[in-house]
Structure 1
């Protein structure tokens, strides 16, 4: 089989097919072009891989919007078709399944082989299973991300005190504490979380995001702001799961450990920056229809990885949040102006080299107005202003007439900007949630 002319760099799955178009092997990748290049290269391959390529007559590529969706799509297709080479290359014990126990407060765990009864568990504690998944690390990363949005319990037995997971927001705290609650509303809330996780793992995540966005808008229009905030948190959580968890490609920790490039040099090339790039600052605004609005500032600092190699890592002690004081109503660009004006008055803080604003052109221009005005007044060098638009991962820069398509850039550069954006979003959301809780208690 000849190498296809156009293989996308996006996440997705690939299917090798035989003469009858039946699937021979199904795989996934965070970068389809990079993964498939192995099969079409001259590098040595295993006997099974060589035999697979000999039998292959067609290749199907299915793009997905995220790594997690590729993981889920692969599991669905393997379950549906049981391809010959997936079975030959991996026995059942190497596949992973997500188990959801059948209890009043269901537990979720990962297992190698679905069984009617897990060893050491009561007979009535049977489970439903989703899978098979081929990548244990990716699956567990996905579940950790989902648990941050939809908390669930993993405690084996009820206990008298609140568990640590409940303290850090990864468990509702009502499912494993003695006495176990009989409150119908709490039970419904817990089961809704479990149903949402099942929905994502069965490929309905994008539909759930649309539903949450629609419900949030309707609640805000009807001035049900607390209800709208709950839908907003669910929506942002799902967006974070799909956009932030690069479970199939290099994680930020992998970049740090295996940095084989000069990130500063590549940033200079990408953005046309002269001089050193030591400090990157990311900004985001969090509010619900303008209420309890806050801003966040996160900081990434250049770290040396030996020789000319370097990378950028979060400097959490330098993070700051801002309560919006001068803007009323939903006006993110105006809020960005306020946040940056207040930040740039702090001459004692280290000067940033690049600002990364969460948003598009409106946010970019708002930030540029403040930065240019401050630099003109102070007579100091000004940082480069950029804005990262989420939908297409396009980076707007004051030095570029057209947006930079980050998905066409080296993967580690895309991940750097996504990490900055997602950290600023997380930090802003956490402070906004705290402000909302304080306002709720006062009322």
Structure 2
């Protein structure tokens, strides 16, 4: 060992001996004066000395110790302060041997502007202008879903006009397209009462605070008042809004609503990274959820990483929960919150939910890494669909059914076929409904599904891996009944899609699946549904047109179906029959029948 190394080791020993036994942050520098590692400790002297007093099994830690040329420290009042300072310094200097947080973006808020008629929108900029900010949210999808929900329930303005009382009174504005399509009540021209608008804003704030039950109770009272005053259309509109809110509540409520304000953290790891899931619960509703990834540098333990993640999340989104659920006991304390390791009950269910989320996140990451090699886009989309829809096999062959009837006339159905995620039009099929009288969608669905798959089964043709039914639980149940009768339920997966909220229904499951509106799986299903609707409507119109033409010719006294068939066979279209000369008609049908047809369409002409 050379003299320089001996001198360095003596220097480091003196530095370690001079460290206080207090909470703080230590920084290791290399010989070039660059910070290579930052750590926090409840006892600085004890923690730092451990690096030099024992043999490390981890090779990376041994290399780190060899590269330490200087040690500096910062003393703080508590371990909580040390965690926050450590986190900030790591983000600032990004030392080579520290774990790296792989997600350092700004988070979105929902802002309710401080205006006479407040706007509600998403933003990533927190401006102290008296406006109300909710969040930040860790999922932009959640933000967009909430704002879409608010705009469906309440007629909120989206313009940036200065809607002061003076400007409105002076008539400076005119109503816009949003008013004409029913999405805004035009407060800009004094059409909407300010107190009612502010009441809507207050309800939105309650929803964002997680107090959906109180808003539902309030809206239910309004609905009953309208009904008592015989204003049934207004009562029906409020009922629709209540159903939307209940749908949002049912998707978010997972535990007892008496669990008012709880944060949940769970962690899983492997040799290279750790993953921490965070869930925020208010009144039994999950209002925020996010998973963070940390890249390991020194084989850090979960007990080291989890506190760092907790302080990171709490500092980022200013959490105020008094209870923090964690999977194991932590040797840290917080002044304004307590850690709980749940064993039973609803809080344990929350912890289980968080652990499932973090495990799925890790598995998805591993899948993405294994699938990182380039593969055909169609194959990738099919794999996404298989995962999203929980299918046993890739849905290479998908069929979608839609019934079409207008005012109960000319009932028809359509079946469209997708192969490898794309329309396969040569296999599209139309169906005339033969056994059902009147507009009965359920019975019609039973008939066409039976005819389609009975034939495929008898002819030994390939069956689809997935069948999509355009409709809710009723149409889906009708299709499932037939597939069961044909003994095909184990060979064909079937789902239903409801139009209004794009809900995905599964047989026997009362709770629908809601896919992200931007997901490729939902886009394929919507494409299938829209294509089936288009194909069915086109056939329905053609059939109605032919029926109309036939009924027009049947109005001619003495002209029967055989004559009509001859006319169409030769003239090909209704207009050509109508425009035909008497000579042309006589060349096809008998003279007396030709005369009757000609006279019907040419009453002012003599033969």
Same fold (TM over 0.5): no
For Structure 1 versus Structure 2, the TM-score category normalised by the shorter chain is 0.3 to 0.5
TM-score normalised by L of structure 2: 0.33
Higher Cα Rg, which structure: 2
